[in-house]
Amino acid sequence: MRKFLFWSLAVIITLASAVYQRMTGPTHPLRIKAQVEGVDLKFRLPRSAETTKDAEIAFAAPEPLGGHIEYIRFKTDDPWTRLELERRGDELVAFLPRQPAAGKLAFRVFLGPGWAAEPVTGAEPVVMRFKDPVPVWLIIPHVIIIFGAMLCSTAAGLAALGKKRDPRRLVFWAAGLLFVGGFILGPLVQKYAFGAFWTGFPFGTDLTDNKTAVAFLFWIAALVAGRKGRPARGWVVAASVVTLVVFLIPHSLLGSELDYSQVPDPGPPAP
């Protein structure tokens, strides 16, 4: 395979996996399609918000359509709180109260007249997670380096499938970038967003942390197997495949979650 085609294939696979991970993650905006009073509606509902302000829920809906939102603190026995959707031009708008970092709200959107309004969010409520702001100077290099690690991982696996390319240099790059992105910058992002450097094993069940650790262990095994100049093609392919599989797991799945039993009930919102 020519060099251009080789890297083109590596980039395509990496981009496809990154887009899939992003689109299927639990914090990616939820697409809603509904028909209410003969009106076809298509809009997105946010599932991530920052702790610095109340979370805006806004979507296009023609007059005279109206409705309300019901929300509850996630995994609590709180009563559902009702918020009326307000008209703002061509949109309906409401604001969910901001929560502490890693706090979550479950909410449902009802459209239609009065108590006959229909739940357009389906049988299960939408879950929104709050996080503290992460500085741009940190998040940008983190994303770039993690993407670079995925790209080098894919390229190393492709190189190891044939006998014309030596994958060893790519193995070093994949392992090195994964270490920097996943074990240095990643914990810093986690600390800014949720107040903890590491929430994977043995401290928690965060799949983002755990899958990074699993992938890195396979690259360490590939490095060890490839010592003394051996290509260790089987180990490299295994590490590349494992990295691809674990990075297909949606980002933030089983991520940081506030235990509301340790947080005082703020009471009903101010009128």
pLDDT in tens, 7-31: 999 999 999 988 888 887 788 899 9
Q: Based on the domain organization, do 55 and 95 belong to the same domain?
A: yes
Looking at residue 146, its pLDDT comes to 93
- The mean pLDDT of 73-102, rounded to a whole number, is 94
If one counts the domains in the chain, the total is 2
- The mean pLDDT of 90-103, rounded to a whole number, is 95
- The mean pLDDT of 221-245, rounded to a whole number, is 91
Structure tokens that stand for 15 in this block: 């981009």
**Taking the CB of residue 66, how many other CB atoms lie within 10 A of it?**
17
Is 142:115 a contact under the CB 8 Å cutoff?
no
| Domain membership flag for residue 260 | no
| Domain membership flag for residue 262 | no
**237 pLDDT more than 80:** yes
Burial group, residue 11, by CB count within 10 angstroms (0-12, 13-18, 19+): middle
Burial group, residue 173, by CB count within 10 angstroms (0-12, 13-18, 19+): middle
**261 pLDDT more than 90:** no
Looking at residue 116, its pLDDT comes to 67
CATH number of 163's domain: 1.20.120
Please write the tens of the pLDDT for every residue from 158-204: 999 988 888 999 999 999 999 999 999 999 999 999 888 887 776 66
CB within 8 Å of 76: residues ≥ 6 apart: 260, 261
Task: State the pairing for strand pair 118-119/55-60.
Answer: unpaired
| Domain membership flag for residue 180 | yes
Residue numbers of the domain that contains 162: 8-25+134-248
Of 217, 220, 219, 207, give the one whose Cα is nearest residue 247: 207
**206 pLDDT more than 80:** no
Q: Which of 133, 160, 179 is the last residue of a domain?
A: 133
| Domain membership flag for residue 145 | yes
pTM of the model: 0.85
pLDDT tier, 103 (very low <50, low <70, confident <90, very high otherwise)? very high
Q: Based on the domain organization, do 179 and 206 belong to the same domain?
A: yes
d(CA 36, CA 176): 53
**251 pLDDT more than 80:** no
